[in-house]
Structure 1
């Protein structure tokens, strides 16, 4: 009877191991943050004088370590850019870029990603391809603000390089229209019209064509960047959550109008997120999910066999029950330890759509109108003018945010 009970206990332990789940954490990757580290991060933010709207992002950046530092640098940088804190935006986005490039070169993290027993969310976040492209795109906008047109052009080119797709989606690689448009603007402002023309030519060959886009010319003095809506939503699908599911959160704004210049959507972030094709990590996660299922089934089979062997009430049966029970437990532990879940950490302050309008205004005040698909007004914003004696530069880049 004791042998039967021991085998049954092993089977129960094996099944319970397969059902175990990690506890909730406080960081973006689900890990607990040491309260002391959190206090130190908060004090650092206070001493630096980080503005109130950005403090939470910078506390996360300073307290969550390398697993999530790229994510929080992205979040903080974009929020800072929108709020007009250019220095903080540069700092945060430059940190994100430096860490992304280090991660792309590192082999240790690549091996870690392939391990069956390391969850995706435990990796150091570097973002999906569309998030990395957006990182360089927004850095390019800051270079435009600084009138550093050469580095702006380089950033927009890098945004295209980061737009890597699987072999099953070759037509969508490097197809960021907003990056080509930004490159064209940087090129004409730097006196390289041939480069601008080449950018426009490439854009004309993209699968997602925008034939009625208004392209920049050399004598413009104002760039209006309009963001609308919310970033695509990441969630998990599949039996073990191994599939990354991207859900659109579309904006009602289909076009913007500034000083009689009408501009359609230059960049649809959902389009970029959903045309990645099959990622290399998808194969890794699929293999992890298959391993988890196979070992889980094996553990159940071994456990049942252990109970059956124990019921023979012979010495040989007892030995077999013990061996099979231990094998079931070990297999179940391996199954439980396998983590195939897709990483759904997200740069969720990205917009759904990006519009860019370049025009000559002479520093005048502007009205930015957001129009829906039928041309009806759904959003509007005012951009203050630049006085002749204000001391501000003639060239200006302004940001407008339509939340829906």
Structure 2
């Protein structure tokens, strides 16, 4: 996601070439999924890759076709409009959160929540565009698969439980042996000491999963493009609930100043954004 947001920032700064490089890097990062059917499967990353190419007077057809093929869960994105000069990046809904599970907290789990927002509508100058999701971050988080470190942590958990069990057995067995042979208890005490060492090693083995995460990621990513004349425009973004009704408490107002130099105006809107915004 870091590359995705960097791409948006580059486009805001008038650098669609660097934005495209970031979107490609983000898609490459996703190629490490354990199950290859989920490898590099962000629709929006390929779509934006192609759009940036079109904006740079290149051919974005291959990227557009890849994006279309990846649209298995949501509606397909529209054809590119090279004359669109206002680009809306939208996100909404609560995103995935990591948490630890297992006996020692060694298992990494993903908590997902249902999104109360399923779509949005952008209204400006008498135009109204419905914006549906293109990517689901909860789906991405739960299909990416484990890392090498997750297997290391699993092995550490096995080692911890094994050394703890061995330590318990050695301490008990050693003390019993020492008490049974009062004339020569050293062997039993040695076994008990070895058990104590095993317990110490077990106690110092920490197989806890890495649950560090962004706590403000969205559930859904989306995008819309629009052609507006230069000058001031006021856009309203309504977020729609599961029944398709606007959620009035989430409605955003954005005052947009479209430049006259034909450069793109990039607008980033979240259901948690402040309102109004002046861009």
Decide: shared fold, TM above 0.5. Answer: yes
Distance 2:172 2:256 in 1: 78
SS of the equivalent of 1:367 reads strand
Matching of residue 338 in structure 1 with residue 209 in structure 2: no
Matching of residue 383 in structure 1 with residue 270 in structure 2: no
Distance 1:387 1:216 in 2: 19
Determine the structure 2 residue equivalent to 1:361: 228
Return the match for 1:185 from 37, 51, 55. 51
Runs of 4+ in 1 over 3 A off after TM superposition: 164-167, 391-394
Distance 2:261 2:113 in 1: 37
- Please give the residue correspondences for 1:251-266 in structure 2 after superposition, counting only pairs within 5 Å: 251-258=115-122, 259-266=127-134
Alpha-carbon deviation of 1:277?
Answer: 2.1
Richer in strand (by share): 2
SS of the equivalent of 2:257 reads coil
Alpha-carbon deviation of 1:231?
Answer: 2.6
SS of the equivalent of 2:99 reads strand
Contact (CA 8 Å) 2:71, 2:134: kept in 1 or not?
no
Contact (CA 8 Å) 1:139, 1:152: kept in 2 or not?
yes
- Please give the residue correspondences for 1:162-241 in structure 2 after superposition, counting only pairs within 5 Å: 162-167=29-34, 169-192=35-58, 194=59, 196-206=60-70, 208-241=72-105
Determine the structure 1 residue equivalent to 2:169: 301
Determine the structure 2 residue equivalent to 1:403: 272
In structure 2, stretches of 5+ residues that fail to align are 274-279
In structure 1, stretches of 5+ residues that fail to align are 1-133
Distance 1:323 1:339 in 2: 27
Deviations 1:11-38 (Å, cap 9, x if unpaired)?
xxxxxxxxxxxxxxxxxxxxxxxxxxxx
Richer in helix (by share): 1
Change over 3 Å in CA distance of 1:295–1:207 after alignment to 2: farther
Contact (CA 8 Å) 1:255, 1:370: kept in 2 or not?
yes
Contact (CA 8 Å) 1:256, 1:263: kept in 2 or not?
yes
Distance 2:11 2:104 in 1: 44
Contact (CA 8 Å) 2:43, 2:68: kept in 1 or not?
no
Distance 1:381 1:366 in 2: 8
Give the TM-score normalised by the residue count of structure 2: 0.88
Deviations 1:125-149 (Å, cap 9, x if unpaired)?
xxxxxxxxx0001111111112211
Contact (CA 8 Å) 2:85, 2:262: kept in 1 or not?
no
Contact (CA 8 Å) 2:258, 2:265: kept in 1 or not?
no
Determine the structure 2 residue equivalent to 1:289: 157
Distance 1:387 1:246 in 2: 41
RMSD, aligned α-carbons = 2.1
Determine the structure 1 residue equivalent to 2:5: 138
Return the match for 1:319 from 166, 174, 186. 186
How many aligned positions are there? 265
Alpha-carbon deviation of 1:206?
Answer: 2.4
Distance 1:171 1:200 in 2: 19
Name whichever of 257-266 and 324-333 sits farther off: 257-266
Determine the structure 1 residue equivalent to 2:215: 348
Deviations 1:225-256 (Å, cap 9, x if unpaired)?
22212331111111111111101133222112
SS of the equivalent of 1:333 reads helix
Contact (CA 8 Å) 2:98, 2:111: kept in 1 or not?
yes
SS of the equivalent of 1:315 reads coil
Distance 2:267 2:251 in 1: 14
Matching of residue 159 in structure 1 with residue 12 in structure 2: no
